[in-house]
Amino acid sequence: MAGKEKDKKLWGGRFRERTATSVEEFTESVTFDKRLARYDISGSIAHAEMLMARGIISKKDGRKIIKGLKEILKDIEAGRFIFKKEFEDVHMNIEHELISRIGDAGARLHTARSRNDQVVTDMRLYLRDEIYEIIKLIKRLITVFIDVAERNIEIIMPGYTHLQRAQPVLLSHHLLAYAWGFMRDMERFRKNLESVNIMPLGSCALAGTSLPTDRRFVAKRLGFKEISLNSMDSVSDRDFCLEFLFNSAVTMMHLSRLAEELIIWSSAEFNFIELPDAYTTGSSIMPQKKNPDVLELIRGKTGRTYGNLVSLLTVMKGLPFTYNRDMQEDKEPVFDSADTLKSSLSIISELLPLIKFNRDAMYKIAGGFCLATDVAEYLVKKGVPFRKAHEITGKMVRFCIEKGISLEELSLEDMKRFSPLIGPDILSLLTPESSVKAKNSTGGTSPTQVRYQIRTLKRLLRNTP
């Protein structure tokens, strides 16, 4: 009988029959939500402090609860605590252990709260820490982009549209394009912090409580800026998790696009870059291979983060208010996306500074027909309407293709056949250097504009806590 009492469910008073073992296995969440233990105990300590301050429990019992929770946390952090599936989740494991250690005082802890508001509080505390860490990692990656851009600021490469050679650009300009995308990612996560930093604890199961609680007291203890104002919304809201999953998916998408370009550039067909040996792998059968596995895995893991977002959206789409057990399925997608994003951000920040850029290979194909737009703009400056200038330049390109020569190889005499406005001054424009230098419009690829971008990004990062 003593053994049965020891393993009795904390909610078991209404039930005559023991929960089937298969049901315990199917419904348990402690195998994954135990990572919330630190947050669960922090919330419980703050809750106990409030119950004491409001006279809902005695100071003696409150002090025993807090001491017991701190001891349990030490055991968890030391790896001595054994989480048991029969107690379902992290909350019940900790509470059951607390009651086992301190007796009836521990049974008073759950006064004026429910697992419904407890778990969503834990998730908000967890995500707050994760988002702070992710913002730091994104900031570090942006700094890496700036450093690599500065070190390679003069390298010229072909820019692409439709993966077809388009116009010459500075490699640094191309790299900074990613930096701006990650700046937006960082801002989205900062906005996510605002929606995360609202405390639901004290909403109880769905209706609040008749006891004289002080939710603002608890919010202050836990560092929340606001408290939720509708108890039903409090326990059923997972928008903040969905925002996190969306933000993670977008950031992984940016990482995946970067990975894709680096994979293409590292191929023998492009030969723009050489990836560091330490961040590539070999083939089990082909001795010559140097595979971009790290980049391919970043690209592949992006699909997981998309799946996590769709998974939780699908879980939430048909739920009536308020809490439903379906919402237990919010944790694994969030945990997985957080882990995946952090590891991907970290490893790409290690890899990027070690890439060797083949400036000769890039420069070699940054000229030729990539300079066609420069010819059209030259004609515009001579007074030719752009559409007419486009047509003239297109005919020049076709002529060159038929002759098997590039634009730079076209003689001035041949150029004048297409337009009498073309003079000797065009010859100095038909180089990749002249092309990028001329693109001095705000946000353009000229060295002046790229240096301005770098200064602006550095200033923004300095002002970003």
For 198-220, the DSSP string reads: EE-TT-TTTT--SS---HHHHHH
What is the predicted pLDDT for the residue at 116?
97
Whole-angstrom Cα distance, residue 365 to residue 129? 47
Separation of CA 415 from chain center: 51
CA dihedral sign, ordered 343, 345, 350, 355: positive
With H, G, I as helix, E, B as strand and everything else as coil, classify residue 137: helix
How many helices (DSSP H) and strands (DSSP E) are in the chain? 20, 6
| Contact by Cβ (8 Å): 125, 197 | no
**Phi and psi, residue 226, nearest 5°:** -140, 165
**Residue 146: its pLDDT value, please?**
98
**What confidence score (pLDDT) does residue 1 get?**
35
State residue 398's pLDDT score: 97
Partners of 165 in the beta sheet? Answer: 160
**Six token digits for residue 288:** 């010559």
**Number of C-alpha atoms within 13 angstroms, CB side, residue 330?**
27
Q: What is the mean pLDDT of each run of 10 residues along the chain (465 residues)?
A: 53 75 89 97 98 98 98 98 95 97 98 98 98 98 98 97 97 98 98 98 97 98 98 98 98 98 97 96 92 97 98 97 95 98 98 98 96 97 97 97 94 95 95 97 98 98 90
What does the H/E/C string look like for 93-108?
HHHHHHHHHHCHHHHC
Q: Is the pTM of this model over 0.75?
A: yes
**Residue 202 in contact with residue 112, Cβ under 8 Å?**
yes
- Asked if residues 375 and 167 have their Cβ atoms less than 8 Å apart, the reply is no
DSSP result, 231-265: HHHHHH--HHHHHHHHHHHHHHHHHHHHHHHHHHH
DSSP string, 381-450: HTT--HHHHHHHHHHHHHHHHHHT--GGGS-HHHHHHH-TT--GGGGGG-SHHHHHHH--STT-SSHHHH
Which domains are assigned to the chain? 20-111 (1.10.275.10), 116-214+223-363 (1.20.200.10), 368-430 (1.10.40.30)
Catalytic residues: 162, 283
Give the single-character DSSP code of 350. Answer: H
Fill in the DSSP letter of residue 8.
-
- The encoded tokens of residue 392 equal 């003239």
Measured from the Cβ of residue 452, the count of other Cβ atoms closer than 10 Å reads 14
Q: Specify the pairing of strand 164-170 against strand 356-357.
A: unpaired
- 209: which 2 tokens? 């409580």
In this structure, what token pair is assigned to residue 198?
């609202």
